[in-house]
Chain A
């Protein structure tokens, strides 16, 4: 395996007094395509936000590209869970993508020609160029998601984070999405957060389950305790008692 891009060691986090993450260790290597699975409220998004430097860990160390996350977060492409977005906000598709070219302390200097070309190039790649002057609020869920992916990619990130990318799009778009991600994965490391075990397709290279604690599985198999974790609530004891990881139906012919 190549260099570790993300290194998390003994991470603890809680909101007020409610523990969200404990004893989390995670190493992500260059070129990986990692799926972080787990139930809602299991701490996946929190872990993502800590790796982005948006939240400070209570205990433990988090390094991205060997640095503190907040220092290098501009090298990470981030696709938020766009359900949380303000639909009525007056902003065009192009302006959203240009946001991905923001730099600190620009002041007067607006986006230049280079930024605009980069944004349009990414929109074209996502087959959304013809919508560049539309309001983002008028797009469908799948279209809006492509715009947010374009925004995440427009500054050539080395790693891409996607938070619940399948939550707001239909099955057809989900398949398209994973085809796009597979192509991107040739050059970019990808981490996808989801509560949906179904996203573990052939494209995903490794899987980790997050439910306060983390369980890393190298390889993309779905095991019973994964399902337990994602759909019931407290599989921690089960795993702690050492239930073997049983592999469910793997498609050998693929």
Chain B
């Protein structure tokens, strides 16, 4: 691993894992406690339509994808606020239509074709330094917004009705939250792939939740876990010559199942019996 660190792409990969960990820890915590994993997945997949748009119209990648993902997030926020009982269906439709749009637009774009696999699993070993700067800025924006609205976001997540009674602008905060999800997801798709984003957005906060006394500590523990999964996965993929994104997800997934098993009453009983 040490000689691997001499390689620039490896250093960049570790930096990307670290920077992704920050956004995933903070936003993933909100995604998990607000139970909007499906919605976040919808934004991530629909963002593929934005990639298609960007290539078809020759727009810069970030403009097309971010613009489209923010639009999708806006629509999804409106739908979930106005027609709650129908929202899962509509999220599912946007999810599929967004991806289909992306595929068709890329078909129609002459000469150039994006590999769908790299969109799904990303290419953490090919992160240019410019993307790292972009992620740093993104992390800064997210940390600033979340610090500023921390108590309000906490109230929204815990008890929306109560927050509204206290005069908190819950609709604005909900839009803000989904916009931040869109930002995190889109910026990281190119780097780590959308499946890895969803995995890192949900698995570390899920494991962290039961061990933390506050959202803040949950965010921090999620960040640490996310970095641990990424570096372990990277190291394994390097030594075993496996696809990096998929290996990181496997590491996270195995830890997820272990944590679920450890929480089962039967397992707890067995462990406590053994201690005696």
Q: Is A78 an interface residue (CB 8 A)?
A: yes
- CB-defined contacts of B217 to chain A, threshold 8 Å: 90
User: Which residues of chain A from 105 to 151 have a CB within 8 Å of any chain B CB?
Assistant: 106-108, 110-111, 133, 135, 151
- CB-defined contacts of B149 to chain A, threshold 8 Å: 107
A19 → chain B closest CB, angstroms: 18
Q: Is A86 an interface residue (CB 8 A)?
A: yes
Q: From A90, A100, A104, A110, give the contact of B169 (CB < 8 A).
A: A104
Q: Contact check, A90 vs B168: say whether CB atoms are below 8 A apart.
A: no
- CB-defined contacts of B97 to chain A, threshold 8 Å: none
Q: Contact check, A102 vs B166: say whether CB atoms are below 8 A apart.
A: yes
- CB-defined contacts of A80 to chain B, threshold 8 Å: 159, 161-162
Interface size on A, residues (CB 8 A): 32
Q: Contact check, B151 vs A85: say whether CB atoms are below 8 A apart.
A: no
A155 → chain B closest CB, angstroms: 8
Q: From A54, A92, A108, give the contact of B213 (CB < 8 A).
A: A92
Known: A54-B161, A80-B161, A91-B214. A111 touches B151 (CB 8 A): yes
- CB-defined contacts of A76 to chain B, threshold 8 Å: 165
Q: From B154, B157, B159, B166, give the contact of A103 (CB < 8 A).
A: B166
Q: From A54, A73, A96, give the contact of B158 (CB < 8 A).
A: A96
B209 → chain A closest CB, angstroms: 6
Q: Contact check, B166 vs A104: say whether CB atoms are below 8 A apart.
A: yes
Q: From A52, A86, A95, A151, give the contact of B214 (CB < 8 A).
A: A95
A102 to B210, CA, bound (A): 26
- CB-defined contacts of A53 to chain B, threshold 8 Å: 164-165
Known: A99-B155, A111-B151. A54 touches B165 (CB 8 A): yes
Q: Contact check, B214 vs A90: say whether CB atoms are below 8 A apart.
A: yes
B240 → chain A closest CB, angstroms: 35
A92 to B158, CA, bound (A): 11
- CB-defined contacts of B148 to chain A, threshold 8 Å: 107-108
Q: Is A195 an interface residue (CB 8 A)?
A: no
B219 → chain A closest CB, angstroms: 10
- CB-defined contacts of A108 to chain B, threshold 8 Å: 147-148
The chain B residues found within 8 Å of chain A, CB to CB, are 33, 147-149, 151-152, 154-155, 157-159, 161-169, 209-210, 212-215, 217-218
The chain A residues found within 8 Å of chain B, CB to CB, are 49, 52-54, 73-74, 76, 78, 80, 85-86, 88-92, 95-96, 98-100, 102-104, 106-108, 110-111, 133, 135, 151
